[in-house]
Amino acid sequence: MITSSLLDIEHERALKKAEKDKQDKIYLTGNFDPSLNENFVEVPIEHSISGYKMYLRKETLNAFLKMAEVANNNGIELKIASATRNFDYQKNLWNNKWTGYTLVDGKDLSKSIPDELERFKKILEYSSVPGISRHHWGTEIDINDANPEYFETQKGKDVYEWLTQNAPLFGFCQPYNSKEDSKRTGFNEEKWHWSYLPLAKDFSKRYKELIKDTDINGFLGEEYVPSLNLINDYIFSINPACL
């Protein structure tokens, strides 16, 4: 009797773990609708510059609002240019660059880079493969303008200087920092992209445990995933301060 009930308990535990792993995989690869997830809230329109509805984890938005208020008192305006982007959103973005529907540096990549592996790498310079974006997690915010040129203007320079000094006090870290400084591979420097570490640290730990190359699929060019070390060279090749 005792043995059999112990086995039942073990069995139930294993089932629960398998179910949790499955749900976590869905979350980490962005295969959900943030507008229907109870942990997410809508970004108030006055803090957004995108013009469409955006969502963040409640904790991320609260930390951002506190930071934006202090910045404002220092004469720095912070607005959210992009927040949570789920798998489907990222897939449209990716596929449109792949087919040439969206031009990259003014070029139709399907014509200018017929070699598909090379095209994959080119799109990767600034766009994440669907399923490996930190934007899936509700912890990432693009601030003010997702273009390098903005951060070359005096206004952009002031914003970035303020963020590098103050964002860590509110839990934010810049994962894609200068590649020369940190000797990392992966995505190019993104001065606009800030990650809310109190949540993102746990998510990246879970990601490392759970997600394999075989979980990254469902978009054009997916057959090239095994020939690139995406998980190590992209998702985990970030500013060490953000790990």
Which of residues 94 and 113 has its CB atom nearest to Zn ion in the complex?
Answer: 94
Token pair for 131: 């399923």
| Beta carbons of 122 and 110 less than 8 angstroms apart | no
Q: Considering the complex, what minimum distance in angstroms separates the CB of residue 175 from Zn ion?
A: 9
Residue nearest to Zn ion (CB): 193
Which residue number, 119 or 193, has a Cβ lying nearer to Zn ion?
193
Using alpha carbons, select from 146, 107, 137 the residue that is nearest to residue 123: 107
Strands 140-143, 80-82: pairing is antiparallel
What residues contact 243, with CB distance under 8 A and at least 6 apart?
201, 204, 236
**Angle in degrees, CA 128, 133, 120, rounded to 5:** 20
* Cβ 73 to Zn ion shortest distance, Å: 26
Binding site for Zn ion (CB under 5 A): 142, 193
Q: How far is the CB of 155 from Zn ion (least distance, A)?
A: 19
Q: Give me the least distance between CB of 97 and Zn ion, in Å please.
A: 16
Nearest to 155 by CA among 179, 191, 181, 194: 191
Of residues 47 and 100, the one with the C-beta less far from Zn ion: 47
One-letter amino acid for residue 160 of the chain? Y
For Zn ion, the closer of residues 142 and 145 by Cβ is 142
